[in-house]
């Protein structure tokens, strides 16, 4: 098992300027003898307290829910199975396989990618889309927001939402053509707001369900590296001298990878284990 922390500034800069030339482009083929890769992502040991820090919300920042506190909600655990929900699982490199959904489709749901802001959270807060996706973005909150989208050090867009129901109906916002992970944040007084959009070139991406289980179908036989990606669970909450929360700094996402060999028409099972130590010991 290999572990790495991604999204360091240096790596992001390198990726941002790395030429795509020479990279093998994904080919769509008819998968006749495909197999299934399935498994579960589980959490081992204690859940760090920071993962569910409750951030007090000042009156002026409150959404229609009038919530006084917002949980950072970084670890979504099924108590019974210890399964970790919301982990994105994907094949790292694959040259050919099933059809890639059109730009604009969220690969995790199979539906149109629509980003909403609900009770001062991005909904959904994890998406996977094709390059060239024109994203629909709206706000259901009766409070000002902005969606500040960055890939590494590059700002892709920064949209203002003055009030409830602000829907860019006919307008769409491009996620660009560069593969990578876009992080979303709000600078309008909601520093805990956090979301991630993976821009990807092949369709073998999925997300773990409430019990941490995942399944990738129609995978051509072969040897692959399977990756489990989590947005990290140890935020730093910054307060001013009066105790008011001024910033929430999330750590770099955590990736765990495993090698898997899939025979034609077979099912391969891969189990991932995440734990608090993973980020602490492997941080660089």
190 binds Cu ion per the rule CB under 5 A: yes
Q: Which stretch binds Cu ion (CB under 5 A): 19-27, 88-96, 187-195, 214-222?
A: 187-195
Which C-beta is closer to Cu ion: that of 82 or that of 190? Answer: 190
Collect all residues with Cβ–Cβ distance below 8 Å to 139 and sequence separation of at least 6: 116, 117, 145, 161, 163, 164, 165, 166, 167
Cα-based angle 180, 90, 224 (whole degrees, multiple of 5): 115
Q: Rounded to the nearest 5 degrees, what angle is found at the Cα of 86, between the Cα atoms of 182 and 30?
A: 80
Please report how close the Cβ of residue 191 comes to Cu ion at its closest, in angstroms.
9
Other C-beta atoms closer than 10 Å to the C-beta of 71 total 13
* Distance of closest approach, residue 199 Cβ to Cu ion, in angstroms: 23
User: Nearest approach, Cβ of 138 to Cu ion (angstroms)?
Assistant: 13
The nearest distance, CB 137 to Cu ion, in angstroms, is: 13
Distance CA 6, CA 257 (A): 12
Rounded Cα gap, residues 175 and 147, in angstroms = 12
Closer CB to Cu ion, residue 135 or residue 186?
Answer: 186
186 lies in the binding site for Cu ion (CB under 5 A): yes
What is the CA 133 to chain-centroid distance, rounded? 16
| Whole-number Å distance between alpha carbons of 49 and 40 | 23
Q: Which of 188, 211, 225, 273 binds Cu ion (CB under 5 A)?
A: 188
Residue with smaller CB distance to Cu ion, 95 or 249: 249
In the complex, the smallest distance separating the C-beta of residue 60 from Cu ion, rounded to whole angstroms, is 12
Which lies closer to Cu ion via its Cβ, residue 145 or residue 213? 145
DSSP-derived secondary structure letter, 49:
G
Give yes or no for residue 202 binding Cu ion (CB under 5 A): no
How near is the Cβ of 188 to Cu ion at its closest, in Å?
Answer: 4
Contact (Cβ atoms closer than 8 angstroms) between residue 245 and residue 238: yes
Chain centroid offset of residue 161 CA: 22
Among the listed ranges 93-101, 170-178, 186-194, 246-254, the one in contact with Cu ion (CB under 5 A) is 186-194
Site mask, Cu ion, residues 106-145, x = CB under 5 A?
---------------------------------------x
Where along the sequence are the contacts to Cu ion (CB under 5 A)?
A: 145, 186, 188, 190
């Amino acid at each position: 098992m290999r572990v790495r922390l991604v999204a360091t500034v240096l790596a992001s800069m390198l990726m941002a300027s790395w030429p795509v030339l020479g990279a093998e482009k994904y080919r769509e083929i008819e998968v006749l003898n495909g197999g299934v890769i399935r498994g579960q992502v589980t959490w081992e040991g204690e859940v760090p307290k920071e993962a569910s820090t409750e951030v007090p919300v000042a009156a002026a920042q409150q959404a229609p829910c009038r919530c006084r506190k917002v949980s950072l909600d970084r670890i979504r655990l099924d108590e019974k199975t210890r399964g970790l929900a919301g982990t994105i699982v994907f094949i790292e490199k694959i040259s050919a396989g099933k059809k890639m959904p059109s730009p604009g489709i969220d690969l995790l749901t199979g539906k149109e990618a629509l980003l909403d802001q609900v009770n001062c959270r991005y909904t959904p807060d994890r998406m996977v889309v094709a390059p060239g996706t024109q994203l629909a973005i709206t706000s259901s909150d009766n409070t000002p927001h902005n969606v500040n989208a960055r890939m590494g050090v590059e700002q892709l867009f920064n949209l203002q939402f003055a009030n409830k129901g602000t829907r860019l109906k006919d307008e769409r916002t491009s996620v660009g053509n560069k593969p990578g992970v876009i992080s979303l944040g709000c600078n309008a007084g909601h520093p805990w707001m956090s979301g991630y959009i993976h821009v990807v070139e092949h369709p073998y991406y999925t997300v773990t369900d409430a019990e941490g289980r995942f399944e990738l179908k129609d995978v051509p036989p072969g040897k692959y590296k399977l990756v489990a990606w989590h947005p990290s669970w140890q935020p730093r909450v910054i307060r001013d001298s009066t105790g008011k929360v001024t910033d929430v700094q999330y750590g770099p996402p955590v990736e765990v990878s495993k090698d898997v060999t899939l025979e034609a028409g077979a099912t391969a099972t891969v189990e991932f284990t995440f734990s608090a130590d993973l980020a602490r010991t492997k941080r660089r």
